[in-house]
């Protein structure tokens, strides 16, 4: 009962949640980066280059996760939409075919 009153149980639970949060943050950033593999067309010789090709999306996942934590969900969505609109705009302006 004494641990509950002075908060030791709460602090132990908080440290476990912080530890799990770090792992979840980095795993979700990795998944965000590697889910963008489907943006490209590969043949059998390109599979070794997938980690290098998706490095930009991995960095974007880390950045968007940080924005989400600091500023909130809607700023994260807004930044993601802005980035996607810049890429789509560049596609139409330069008539570049991926």
Q: Could you give the CA distance from residue 14 to residue 11 in angstroms, rounded to a whole number?
A: 5
What percent helix, strand, coil does the chain show, rounded to 5?
85, 0, 15
Mean pLDDT rounded to a whole number for the chain? 79
* pLDDT at residue 74, rounded to an integer: 93
Model confidence, pTM: 0.65
The three-state secondary structure class of 92 is helix
Residues contacting residue 21 through CB under 8 Å, at least 6 positions apart:
none
Q: Is 70 exposed, middle or buried (0-12, 13-18, 19+ CB in 10 A)?
A: exposed
* pLDDT at residue 37, rounded to an integer: 80
Q: pLDDT tens digits, residue range 35-74?
A: 888 877 777 777 788 778 888 888 888 898 889 889 989 9
The residue ranking higher by pLDDT, 69 or 15, is 69
Residues 9-28: what's their mean pLDDT?
Answer: 72
């Amino acid at each position: 009962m004494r641990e509950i009153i002075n908060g030791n149980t709460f602090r132990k639970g908080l440290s476990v949640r912080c530890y799990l949060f770090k792992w979840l943050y980095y795993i979700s950033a990795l998944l965000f980066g590697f889910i963008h593999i489907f943006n490209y067309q590969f043949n059998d010789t390109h599979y070794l280059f997938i980690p290098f090709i998706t490095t930009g999306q991995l960095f974007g996942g880390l950045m968007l996760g940080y924005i989400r934590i600091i500023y909130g969900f809607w700023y994260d969505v807004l930044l993601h939409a802005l980035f996607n609109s810049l890429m789509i705009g560049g596609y139409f302006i330069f008539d570049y075919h991926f």
